Structure 1
């Protein structure tokens, strides 16, 4: 069975039972200087590998941008 998740307004299909860490790795998303929110709740990096995703979940990726 597959699930659909939305990452920053783009829909992706993954096998059921996938974790946030696996999605990050499979999509080659940056890890340094990034914050991921699952359904509007920030997920600590230490929990990425434990956070199982469900059909319809929404992930937001925020990157730190330095400026001056």
Structure 2
């Protein structure tokens, strides 16, 4: 299955279709990030059960504190 993450194409195995698996595969520190799929923000509490579909556009944002 093919998804796009921050404008880069990634190929996922059929059994690796959960959002949390993708984030782990990308070795992302899951603290301090926000994730949107097809421009819909996914709450962190739903990452483990959120299933990705062919062609999904995933955006990962790093939170920055400042004033």
1:10-47 CA distances to partner (integer Å, 9 max, x unpaired)?
A: 00000124100000011101211110001100001111
1:42 maps to which residue?
A: 41
Question: Structure 1, unaligned stretches of length 5 or more?
Answer: none
The match for 1:53 is 52
Matches within 5 A, 1:6-21: 6-17=4-15, 18-21=17-20
Offset of 1:54 from its aligned partner? 0.7
C-alpha separation in 2, matches of 1:16 and 1:52? 11
The two structures, once aligned, show a CA RMSD in angstroms of 1.0
**Long gaps (5+) in structure 2:** none
State the secondary structure of the residue aligned to 1:62: strand
Task: Work out the CA distance in 1 between the residues paired with 2:10 and 2:38.
Answer: 15
Point out 4+ residue stretches in structure 1 off by more than 4 angstroms: none
In the other structure, the counterpart of 2:21 is 22
